[in-house]
Amino acid sequence: MKWVYIEDIAAHRGQDVELRGWVYNTRSSGRIRFILVRDGTGILQATIHSESEGDPLYEKFDSLTQETSLVVRGRVREDKRAPGGFELGIREIDILQAAEDYPITPKEHSTPFLMEHRHLWLRSRKPHAVLQVRAEVVKAIRDFFDGRGFRLMDTPILTPSACEGTTTLFETKYFDQTAYLSQSGQLYNEATAAAFGKVYCFGPTFRAEKSKTRRHLIEFWMVEPEVAFAVLDDIIDLGTDLVLFILERVLSQRRSDLEALERDPRPLEAIAKPFARLTYDEIVPRLQAKGSAMARGDDFGAAEDALISELSPGPVCITHFPAAIKAFYMQPAPERPDLALGVDFMAPEGYGEIIGGGQRIHDPGLLEERLREHHLPAEAYAWYLDLRKFGSCPHSGFGLGVERTVSWICGIKHIRETIPFPRLLYRIYP
Amino acid sequence: MKWVYIEDIAAHRGQDVELRGWVYNTRSSGRIRFILVRDGTGILQATIHSESEGDPLYEKFDSLTQETSLVVRGRVREDKRAPGGFELGIREIDILQAAEDYPITPKEHSTPFLMEHRHLWLRSRKPHAVLQVRAEVVKAIRDFFDGRGFRLMDTPILTPSACEGTTTLFETKYFDQTAYLSQSGQLYNEATAAAFGKVYCFGPTFRAEKSKTRRHLIEFWMVEPEVAFAVLDDIIDLGTDLVLFILERVLSQRRSDLEALERDPRPLEAIAKPFARLTYDEIVPRLQAKGSAMARGDDFGAAEDALISELSPGPVCITHFPAAIKAFYMQPAPERPDLALGVDFMAPEGYGEIIGGGQRIHDPGLLEERLREHHLPAEAYAWYLDLRKFGSCPHSGFGLGVERTVSWICGIKHIRETIPFPRLLYRIYP
C-alpha cells in the first residue's frame, strides 16, 4: 500500500493508502472512533467503525496516547464534515511506539516550560504554523532575488574584523589567530557586487547583546542584497518590492497557517506601494508631538515603533539619519555631510525595524578618514579599501531580518517563536 | 537612457541603452576601438568608430585602464562577429574612477597571491564562473527539497553540545556558558522531522580540523535533509535523485560557465540511475586488489577516492560500515549489529565523498547505551533522548557538502575556489 502524506491526500480520493505519523488526539462517538493523525504535513481524521464490537481495532484504539507513533492503512474518503474535507477509513493500525506521559498536553503551559521543551513543542499547531510561514518567507526572499538576477554569495561567518564595533561580537580561537562571528556579510558583498553586479547573502548572524527584549535574538537570519551603481533611492525601491513580494506569497500560500495563528490578514492585504517616506529630522518632532521622550540623536525604541505605526498603515521608510549614530561606511548626503544616506524600514503595527541599509562610501579618501575616526585597524580593512581604489562606484544595499519579518507577518509579539531553536540571553538549550 | 544588464542585452536589440561596469580589456584595430565592458552579469564588446579623428571619445578610450569603472551609452547591435552575438556602438563614456595598477593582470599569478587578493580575483573569468555554478547548485538544492514538500528548518549554529566529538570544534563564550559552532544540524532536525515529517537545514558548518588537504575547508555549507519513517534505502533514493537534479540543472543553465572552466560536460551527462552500490566489506578488498594500502576499519583517503572512481562512471554508494568508525547515533544493521546502516556517496573522477548519512537509532535504550559508550553527557542530550521516548520512529537523513559538489561539477581540484572567501588552516583574510 502506498505511503502518502496528508497534504497530498486529495489526490488519493477513493484509494487505499498508508499514513505514517503520530496521534494528535482521539475521541469516540457511539461505535465510531476518531483518531486525529498528524504526519508533519497536516492532520487527518481517521475513523474506526466496525460491524463487530470485538474488532481488535477497538482494542488498539483504546491503547492510543498522545504522540504515539503509528502506521494506519485504509481508504481515503471525501467527507464534508471532516476537517479538511477528507478522512481515512481505517483497516489496519500498526503501533510503532506508545508514548507515555507526553509533557505537552492540550492544557495551558508556561512559556519557560514550552521553551525548555522546544524540541517537542514544535509539534503543536501554533509553533508549526509559525515555522511554515518562516519557510515560506525564506523561499519568497530567495525567489525574489534569484528572479531578479541577483547572485547568491555565501559570505564568511568567521571573520578577522568587525563590521560595526567589537563590543557585541562572539570571539573564538582560530588556530593561531582570533576570529569573530559575523554580524553582517555586507563588507564582503561590497567586493562580490563589484564582481557580479547584483548579489545577496543569506545566512545566520550573531550579536552578543546583553539585551533581553522581545525583538532581539542572539542568533538570527538576515538577507543582505548589495547592488553596484545603485544609490539610496534604488535600494528603497528594491526593499519595497521585496516586502510586497513576501507578503503576496505568504498571503497566497500560507493562508491556513495565518488562520491557525488567528492573524487578521487584512492589515497585511492593505499594504501597497509607495511606502511612506520621511527623513529622521522630519519624523522625530512628529514622534515627540505624539508623546515620545526621544531626543534628536537617539535611536527608536519600542515606544517609537508603535508611534511610527500611527503614521501609515504600511511600512514607513526613514532616511537621512545623523551620521554620528550610523556606521562608519555610510555615504554622507551631498549637501548635508552630517546626515547619512541610510534607510530603515519600520514595520506596521509597532513591529519595529525590519530593514536597515543605505548607500556606502565610495570615495577612498573619505573611507580612510572614517576608518581613522572609528579607530579601525587599517591592515584588517586593506582589502575593503582596495574596492575604492580599483574601479570604485556608488553602491548600496540593505539587510532584512527574517525573524522580525516573520514576527510581524504572523502577529507574534515575541521573536523567540519565529526560529526553530532560539538563542537568547543565557538560553542555549535545547 | 535605460540602465540595462549585459545578460539581458538581447532584449534591447536596436535600442539605446546605458551600461554600468568596468573595463575588462581594450584593443584597437585601425580606426575602431574595442572596450570589453564587464558589469558582473556578462562581458560585452563596446566599440568606438567615429568619422572624426579628433572625437573626444578616442581620448577617453586612450585613458582607460583595466578595472576602471565607467558608464557607457549607445545602441545595441546584433553582430555575429562579436562574442555573444551583440555589441554596443558607443556614443558617450563617463569615467567614474580610473583604476591605477590593478594587481591582477592577464599574466599568470601564484595561487597565494590570488588568494591574498580574493576580493578582486572574484572579478576574473574563472572564479566568476565557479561561483555562478555554486549559486546554481544552491538554488537547485533548495528547489529540489521545496518541490518535494520538505520544510526548511534553520538549525542553530551556537550549540551547547557536540554532534561528533569535541576535538574539532570552535568554542566561544556564551554569556555565562560555553557554546560550540555547529558541525551539523542533524540532531536538531531529528526533532523537527518528528514535527514536520520531511525537513532540511542548509547553512554554514565549521570544523576546526588541522588538516591541509585540497578537499577540506574550515567553514563550508552543507544541506541536510531528515525524513521521519525513512529507512536507509529511502534516503539512498533521495540522495540519488538530488545529485541527478543538481547535475541536470547545472548542465542546462550553466553551460557557458562550464565552458569558461574548460570542464568537459560528457562525464557529467553520462550519469544515470541507479548508482553503483557496494557494502564497505565488498569494496575494501576490491580497492586492496587495485593497490590500496587501506585495511578494514580505515577511512578512505585520496588514493581510495581515485580507485573507487574506477568502479563506475557515476557516483558509488558505499553502505554498511563497521560501526566502530561511524557516529554514535547510527542504526545498526538488523542481523549484523557490528555494521552501521550508513551511506557515503563517492563522486566520480576521484572527487571523494559528497554525501554522508544513514539511518538513526530510534530505540531509546540503545541510544542511551551509545551515549554512555561515547562518554557523552546525558543532560546535554536529554532533549535528544526525548525524541525516542515520545513517538519514536525509524528516520534517516544525510548531509551533502556544497563545496565538494561544486568542485566535482566544475572540475576544480582544490575546494578553496568554490566559496567566495575560503576559510583555511591559518587563513582568515580577506
Which CATH number belongs to the domain containing residue A45 in this structure?
2.40.50.140
Per-residue pLDDT tens over the stretch B360-403: 999 999 999 999 999 888 888 999 999 999 999 999 999 999 99
Read off the amino acid at residue A402: V
Share of chain B above pLDDT 70, in %: 99
Q: State which of B97, B126, B141 marks the end of a domain.
A: B97
Helix (H) or strand (E) holding A85: none
Q: Please report which confidence band the pLDDT of residue B166 belongs to, taking 50, 70 and 90 as the band edges.
A: low
Domain shared by A187 and A265, yes or no: yes
Clarify whether residues B71 and B172 are in a common domain.
no
Contact status of B195 with chain A (Cβ, < 8 Å): yes
Chain B contacts of A211, Cβ < 8 Å?
none
Same-domain check for residues B254 and B153: yes
Helix (H, G, I), strand (E, B) or coil at A389: helix
Structural domain includes residue A111: no
Shared domain for B63 and B140, answered yes or no, is: no
The CA angle A276-A280-A286, to the nearest 5 degrees, is 75
Q: Is residue B355 part of a domain?
A: yes
Say yes or no: A48 and A131 in one domain. Answer: no
pLDDT digits (tens, 9 = 90+) for B183-195: 999 999 999 999 9
Contact of A424 with chain B, judged by CB distance below 8 Å, is answered with no
Residues 33-52 of B with CB under 8 A from A: 39-41
Question: Are the beta carbons of A122 and B391 separated by less than 8 Å?
Answer: no
DSSP classification of residue B101: S
CATH of the domain at B284: 3.30.930.10
Interchain contact B420–A (C-beta under 8 A):
yes
Of the candidates B133, A346, B86, the one whose C-alpha atom is nearest the C-alpha of residue B141 is B133
Judge if A174 and A254 occupy the same domain.
yes
Last residue of a domain, one of A97, A126, A144: A97
Q: Are strands A2-3 and A43-48 parallel, antiparallel or unpaired?
A: unpaired
Mean pLDDT of B320-336: 96
Residue-wise pLDDT tens digits, A116-160: 999 999 999 999 999 999 999 999 999 999 999 999 999 999 998
How many CA atoms, within 13 angstroms, populate the side-chain half-sphere of residue A149?
15
Cell of A120: 517537542
The secondary structure of residue B427, as a DSSP letter, is B
C-alpha closest to that of A268 among A282, A249, A287, A291: A249
A249 in contact with chain B, both atoms CB, cutoff 8 A: no
Q: Hey, what's the cell of B73?
A: 551609452
* Structural domain harbouring B381: 118-418
Read off the amino acid at residue B85.
G
Give A128's contacts in chain B (Cβ within 8 Å): 195-196
Residues A359 and A279 in one domain: yes
Residues written for chain B: 430
Give contacts of A125 with chain B, Cβ < 8 Å: none
> Are residues B40 and A198, on separate chains, in Cβ contact within 8 Å?
yes
The mean pLDDT value for B125-139 works out to: 98
* Residue A100 touches chain B, beta carbons under 8 Å: yes
Q: Which three cell numbers stand for residue A161?
A: 574584523
A245, three cell numbers? 513580494
Residue type, A338: D
Cell of residue B89, nine digits: 556602438
DSSP A119-144: HHHTTSHHHHHHHHHHHHHHHHHHHH
Contact: A228, B149; criterion CB under 8 Å: no
Average pLDDT, chain B: 96
Does residue A108 lie within any of the structural domains? no
Å from B295 to nearest chain A CA?
A: 32
Pair B54, B191 in one domain: no
Nearest Cα neighbor of B429 from A360, A175, A394, A150 is: A175
Q: Tell whether B169 is covered by a domain.
A: yes
Q: Which residues of chain A have pLDDT under 50?
A: none
Q: Are residues B72 and B126 part of one domain?
A: no
In this predicted structure, what is the pLDDT of residue B378?
A: 85
Query: B207, B168 in Cβ contact below 8 A?
Result: yes
The nearest CA of chain B is from the CA of A280 a distance in Å of 30
- B430 and A383 within 8 Å at the Cβ level: the answer is yes
Domain count, chain B: 2
Interface mutation vs chain A, best among B126, B196, B227, B257, most A CBs within 10 Å: B196
Residue B109 in domain: no
How far is the first Cα of chain A from the last one, in angstroms, to the nearest whole number? 37
User: Would you call B337 exposed, middle or buried from its count of C-beta atoms within 10 A (0-12, 13-18, 19+)?
Assistant: exposed
Shared domain check, B196 and B60: no
Residue A395's SS3 state is strand
Give contacts of A 202-231 with B, CB under 8 A.
203-204, 206, 208, 210, 218-219, 221, 228-229
**B5, B138, B198 ranked by CB distance to A197: nearest:** B5
CB contact under 8 A, B386 and A96: no
- Contact residues on chain A for B198, CB-CB shorter than 8 A: 5, 40-41
Task: For residue B69, tell me if it sits in a domain.
Answer: yes
On whether any CB of chain B is under 8 Å from the CB of A159, the answer is: yes
Pair A226, A238: CB distance under 8 Å: no
pLDDT at A427: 86
Same domain, A224 and A130: yes
Q: Is the pLDDT of residue B163 over 70?
A: no
Which residues in chain B are contacts of A119 at CB distance < 8 A? 188, 191, 383-384, 386-387
**Does any domain span residue A423?**
no
pLDDT value at position A165?
A: 60
Domain termination residue (choose one: B97, B129, B147): B97
Flag whether residue B377 sits within 8 Å of chain A, measured between CB atoms: no
Q: Which residues in chain B are closer than 8 Å to A221, comparing Cβ atoms?
A: 154
Whether residue B82 is predicted with pLDDT greater than 90 in this model: the reply is no
**Per-residue pLDDT, B379:** 87
CA dihedral B298, B303, B308, B309 (to 10 degrees): 160
Confirm whether A295 is domain-assigned. Answer: yes
Question: For B188, what's the count of Cα atoms within 13 Å in the CB-facing half-sphere?
Answer: 27
Q: Is the ipTM of this complex over 0.90?
A: yes
Is A67 an interface residue toward B (CB < 8 Å)?
Answer: yes
Instruction: Give yes or no: residues A249 and A311 share one domain.
Output: yes
